[in-house]
C-alpha cells in the first residue's frame, strides 16, 4: 500500500532582527487538492455551558468553558483550519506529514481540527501547544484529509505555532510528539519531519516507543526525524528554507508575500494534483500596544490573489462573501458513508476571482494589466496597515471592524 503523497505546503516564521521593526512575521501557503475551496471565517469569543460538546470534523469532544475569538482559513467541508490566528496574537498552521508509522484511517481528530482547537483554547503559543498535545493523547489523530469518497488519505501532522515572543515547531506521529522552541532567526517547515536532536519538549514515552518499534537503539543520539521518517524522506525542505534564508534585507510582510508567490522556488505550488488554494501572512509586533495584523487571500494561487488585512476588535463585521454555503446536516461530509457527493462550495469571492484567474491564464496583455491593478489594490491595504503600526496612538476599533469586509467587497466589485 503506497502512502498518499503529503501536499507540499510551506509554513514560515521570521523573528527580529531578521524581521523588520520588531515584528514577528508568519506565513503559510496551503497546498491542497486543486478543486478544493477554502473559506475565511471569523468566530467570536464565546462562553459554553458546562458538559457541552464540540463537534469537530469527525468526532465530538468536550467543549471548554470559554473559546477565544479566531479567524481561520479552512477547506470549506471541514470543521478545523489549515491556518489562522486568535485574538491573543497566536497563529497556527499545520503540515500533513508521512512518517514511518502510517497515519490512522480511523476517524479521530484531524491535524486541521487541532489547529483550530489550539487557537480557540490557547492564549500563548506554548499554551496552544499544550492544548494540542493533550487532545492528541486523549483522542488521537486520524481520518480522511480530503473530501474524497474513493480513498482515505490520512497523514501525521506538524505545526508551526507562533506568538509575539516565540514559536514552537511541533511534530507528531500518532499520539507521540516532539517540539522545538524558536525565538530568533527564521524557520520553515514543510511536509517532512524536520526536528533532529534539539528538542525542548517531548512526549514522555517518545523514546521508549521508538525503541520498542526497533527504530532507535537507545545508544545513539536521539534524532527525531531520523528515527520517525520514512527511510529516504528526511531531506530538509530546501525550497522554503532557501527562499527565506537568501533574503538579504530584513523580512517584511511584503517579503513574506513575495516568498509565498514564488512558483520558481516551488513554494507556490501549481501542479497536476495540488494547488496553493489559500495563503496567510501575519505580522505580530513584539510591542504589545500595536495590533497584530493577519492577511488572507481566501482564493487560490497567491501569485494571482490579493492579500487582505484583518485585525481583531470587539465588533468585527462578518464577511459572508468569503464564506462557503452551509449545507447543515445535509452536508455529504457529515453523513456516513461520507462524501457520496460533492456540493458546490464556492463562495462569492471565489467565484469572482475565478474570472480573474481565467483572464490571467488566457490573455497576456489584459492579464498583465489586471495583475498590476490587483497589486495596486493590495498595496493600498498594506500601506494603510503600515500606518497603523507606525502610529503611536492607540487603534480606533471602529475604524478597523469592517476592514476585511471592505477589502473583500472592493475586490469583488473590481472583478465585476
Our measurement of the distance from residue 128's CA atom to the centroid of its chain's CA atoms, rounded to an integer in Å, reads: 14
Distances (CA, A) of 337 to 33, 159, 298, 334, 389: 21, 29, 29, 9, 49
Cα(127)–Cα(138) distance, integer angstroms: 17
Report, as an integer, the average pLDDT of 33-52: 97
Report, as an integer, the average pLDDT of 197-203: 98
Length of the chain, in residues: 416
301-353 pLDDT, tens digit each: 999 999 999 999 999 999 999 999 999 999 999 999 999 999 999 999 999 99
Report, as an integer, the average pLDDT of 7-27: 95
Q: Residue 46, SS3?
A: strand
For cell 508509522, the residue is: 101
For residue 234, what pLDDT band results from cuts at 50, 70 and 90? very low
Cα(16)–Cα(365) distance, integer angstroms: 40
State yes or no: is 11 an active-site residue. Answer: yes
Residue among 11, 91, 237, 268 flagged as catalytic? 11
The reported pLDDT for the residue numbered 248 is 80
Cα(335)–Cα(338) distance, integer angstroms: 5
The reported pLDDT for the residue numbered 235 is 55
Residue 416 has a CB neighbour count (10 Å cut-off) of 7
Give the residue with greater pLDDT, 84 vs 231: 84
100-110 pLDDT, tens digit each: 999 999 999 99
> Residues near 177 by Cβ (< 8 Å), separated by ≥ 6?
133, 136, 170, 171, 202, 203, 206
Q: What angle do CA 292, 293, 296 make, to 5 degrees?
A: 145
Contact status, residue 123 vs residue 88, Cβ threshold 8 Å: yes
Give the residue with greater pLDDT, 200 vs 234: 200
For cell 506538524, the residue is: 158
pLDDT for residue 3 is more than 70: no
Residue 46 has a CB neighbour count (10 Å cut-off) of 12
Cα(131)–Cα(116) distance, integer angstroms: 11
- In terms of Cβ atoms closer than 10 Å to its own Cβ (0-12, 13-18, 19+), residue 361 is exposed
Q: Residue 388, SS3?
A: helix
Cα(315)–Cα(393) distance, integer angstroms: 20
The reported pLDDT for the residue numbered 247 is 85
The reported pLDDT for the residue numbered 241 is 82
For cell 519538549, the residue is: 201
pLDDT for residue 251 is more than 80: yes
pLDDT for residue 385 is more than 80: yes
Nearest CA to 69 out of 133, 123, 134, 128 is that of 123
171-192 pLDDT, tens digit each: 999 999 999 999 999 999 999 9
Report, as an integer, the average pLDDT of 223-251: 80
DSSP string of 252-291? -HHHHHHHHH-TTTTSS-B-SSEEEEEEEEEEEESSTTSP
Q: What is the dihedral of CA 149, 150, 154, 159, to 10 degrees?
A: -60
With a pLDDT cut of 90, the percent of the chain lying above it is: 91
Distances (CA, A) of 43 to 46, 85, 260, 317, 378: 9, 11, 26, 11, 25
- In terms of Cβ atoms closer than 10 Å to its own Cβ (0-12, 13-18, 19+), residue 206 is buried
Q: Is the dihedral of CA 187, 281, 168, 16 positive or negative?
A: positive
For residue 4, what pLDDT band results from cuts at 50, 70 and 90? confident
Q: What is the dihedral of CA 38, 27, 142, 201, to 10 degrees?
A: -160
For residue 233, what pLDDT band results from cuts at 50, 70 and 90? low
> Residues near 115 by Cβ (< 8 Å), separated by ≥ 6?
72, 80, 81, 82, 83, 84, 92, 93, 94, 159
For residue 203, what pLDDT band results from cuts at 50, 70 and 90? very high
Amino acid at each position: 500500500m503506497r502512502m498518499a503523497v503529503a501536499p507540499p505546503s510551506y509554513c514560515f516564521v521570521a523573528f527580529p532582527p531578521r524581521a523588520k521593526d520588531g515584528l514577528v512575521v508568519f506565513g503559510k501557503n496551503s497546498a491542497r487538492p486543486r478543486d478544493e475551496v477554502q473559506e475565511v471565517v471569523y468566530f467570536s469569543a464565546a462562553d459554553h455551558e458546562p458538559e457541552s460538546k464540540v463537534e469537530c470534523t469527525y468526532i465530538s469532544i468536550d467543549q471548554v468553558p470559554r473559546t477565544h475569538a479566531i479567524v481561520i482559513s479552512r477547506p470549506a467541508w471541514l470543521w478545523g483550519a489549515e491556518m489562522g490566528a486568535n485574538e491573543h496574537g497566536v497563529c497556527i498552521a499545520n503540515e500533513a506529514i508521512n512518517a514511518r508509522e502510517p497515519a490512522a484511517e480511523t476517524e479521530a481528530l484531524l491535524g486541521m481540527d487541532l489547529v483550530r482547537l489550539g487557537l480557540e483554547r490557547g492564549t500563548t503559543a506554548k499554551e496552544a501547544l499544550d492544548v494540542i498535545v493533550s487532545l492528541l493523547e486523549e483522542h488521537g489523530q486520524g481520518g480522511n484529509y480530503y473530501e474524497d469518497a474513493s480513498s482515505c488519505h490520512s497523514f501525521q501532522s506538524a505545526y508551526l505555532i507562533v506568538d509575539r515572543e516565540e514559536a514552537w515547531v511541533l511534530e507528531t506521529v500518532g499520539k507521540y510528539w516532539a517540539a522545538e522552541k524558536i525565538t530568533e532567526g527564521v524557520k520553515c517547515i514543510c511536509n517532512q519531519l524536520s526536528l533532529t536532536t534539539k528538542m525542548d519538549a517531548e512526549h514522555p514515552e517518545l523514546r521508549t516507543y521508538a525503541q520498542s518499534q526497533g527504530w532507535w537503539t537507545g545508544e545513539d543520539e536521539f534524532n527525531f526525524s531520523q528515527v520517525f521518517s520514512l527511510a529516504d524522506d528526511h531531506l530538509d525542505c530546501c525550497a522554503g528554507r532557501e527562499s527565506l534564508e537568501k533574503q538579504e534585507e530584513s523580512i517584511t510582510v511584503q517579503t513574506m508575500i513575495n516568498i509565498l508567490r514564488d512558483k520558481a522556488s516551488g513554494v507556490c505550488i501549481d501542479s497536476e494534483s495540488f494547488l496553493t488554494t489559500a495563503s496567510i501572512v501575519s505580522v505580530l509586533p513584539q510591542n504589545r500596544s500595536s495590533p497584530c495584523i493577519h492577511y488572507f487571500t481566501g482564493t487560490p494561487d497567491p501569485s494571482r490573489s490579493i492579500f487582505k488585512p484583518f485585525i481583531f476588535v470587539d465588533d468585527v463585521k462578518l464577511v459572508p462573501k468569503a464564506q462557503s454555503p452551509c449545507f447543515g446536516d445535509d452536508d455529504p461530509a457529515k453523513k456516513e458513508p461520507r462524501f457520496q457527493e460533492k456540493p458546490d462550495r464556492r463562495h462569492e469571492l471565489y467565484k469572482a476571482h475565478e474570472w480573474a484567474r481565467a483572464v490571467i491564464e488566457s490573455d497576456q496583455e489584459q492579464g498583465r494589466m489586471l495583475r498590476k491593478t490587483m497589486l495596486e489594490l493590495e498595496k493600498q491595504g498594506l500601506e494603510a496597515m503600515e500606518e497603523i503600526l507606525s502610529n503611536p496612538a492607540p487603534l480606533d476599533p471602529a475604524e478597523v471592524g469592517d476592514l476585511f469586509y471592505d477589502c473583500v467587497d472592493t475586490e469583488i466589485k473590481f472583478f465585476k
